[in-house]
Amino acid sequence: MSPPATSRRTAGYKPALAWFAAIGSAWVFVLVMLGAFTTSIGAGMIFADWPLSNGSLNPEGWLTDLAKFAEHSHRLSAGLMSLITIALAGWVWCVEARAWLRKLAWFAVGLVLVQAVVGGLRVLLEHHQVEMINTSVGRLFAMLHACLAQIYVCTLLAVTLSLSRSWSGTTPAAGPGGAGLRRIARLCCGLLLVQLALAAVVRHSFAWQSIPTFPLSTADGGLFPAHWDFRVTVHFAHRVMALVLAGALLWFAISIWRTREAGHRCRFLAGVMVNLLVLQIALGAAVIWTMRDPYYTTAHVIVGAGTLATTFGLTWWVHRVAIEPVSTA
């Protein structure tokens, strides 16, 4: 007779579990890439049914038709990601002594399952129109789907970092920078989530070309758009938020570099965050200048998710001293 699960729960670093979580965190970016590419080439409704594709797990022609391949591979990857998340949560539940981490792993499961349902509703409700804002119910769910994806990425990353050797194998010390740095970190994560939500609205409301020039807003050099409607407003808000974020992330990075207690990994990740910010702005400009080339657009979405992941990872780490004291089962 096997011992109860509680007797197998231990503290400390568990290499196999940590690597499994890391692989899952890497795979989620494949899922984000496939979803972004599907949207960028307008293939989100190539199959009008869900959860099957044209009533099959192996729909005819999906390996030779780009649109079908993008959407169906996104669905298959989402199914695999769901299985990985459930397996990770079950493994954490069986062997991990930290109660808060067990709960966080199951929260990730809840998120991925809700995300799957929202993705299905995006397809099934596409033909129901919302006349007031001239869009479909399906597209509203597509916007929610994009936002939930970012929260899911952060949750999975939090689980992965908490299982890592650097986190699990050492006793938490005073957090680098104290409360001030933690406030800046939370502010940056909040601003990034707002920006990515705006990006989802821009992408799914076809507002990407409502301001067709960059960096200025009109062909004759105007700072502000010549006329305003919903699409112009949300697009302009996305640009303004990019400027706000540039200042906030630079402030965060400089704060880390100036903090004596910050280790070399935090300093390195702060540099990665700034470089991702620069690349993201350049890709945003390329999307406008190339009339929304699908490859630039997909890269813009992936780098946006990577910027959030890096910023959130730093945020989670500087909060370690506040998280670990409540880690006992």
Q: Are strands 135-136 and 129-130 parallel, antiparallel or unpaired?
A: antiparallel
Higher pLDDT, 137 or 135: 137
The answer to whether the beta carbons of residues 71 and 37 sit under 8 Å apart is no
Instruction: Reply yes or no on whether the pLDDT at 30 is more than 70.
Output: yes
> In the prediction, which pLDDT does 2 show?
52
* pLDDT (average), residues 111-136: 86
Task: Say which range, 73-87, 131-145, 166-180, 300-314, has the weakest mean pLDDT.
Answer: 166-180
d(CA 225, CA 240) in angstroms, rounded, equals 12
Asked if residue 172 has pLDDT above 80, the reply is: no
Segments making up each domain of the chain, as ranges: 8-170, 173-329
pLDDT at 259: 87
Higher pLDDT pick, 230 / 92: 92
What percent of the chain is modeled with pLDDT above 90?
Answer: 75
Confidence of residue 205 (pLDDT cuts 50, 70, 90): confident
CATH 1.10.357 fits 173-329, yes or no: no
Helices (H) and strands (E) in the chain, counts: 10, 2
Report, as an integer, the average pLDDT of 313-320.
Answer: 92
> What is the rounded average pLDDT of the residues 71-85?
96
Helices 66-95, 137-163: crossing angle, 10 deg rounding:
40
Structure tokens at 85: 């998340």
Confidence of residue 170 (pLDDT cuts 50, 70, 90): low
pLDDT tens digits along 1-10: 455 555 678 8
pLDDT at 95: 95
What is the reported pLDDT for 1?
Answer: 46
- Mean pLDDT computed over 249-254: 96
* Helix/strand/coil (H/E/C) assignment for every residue in 283-294: HHHHHHHCCCCH
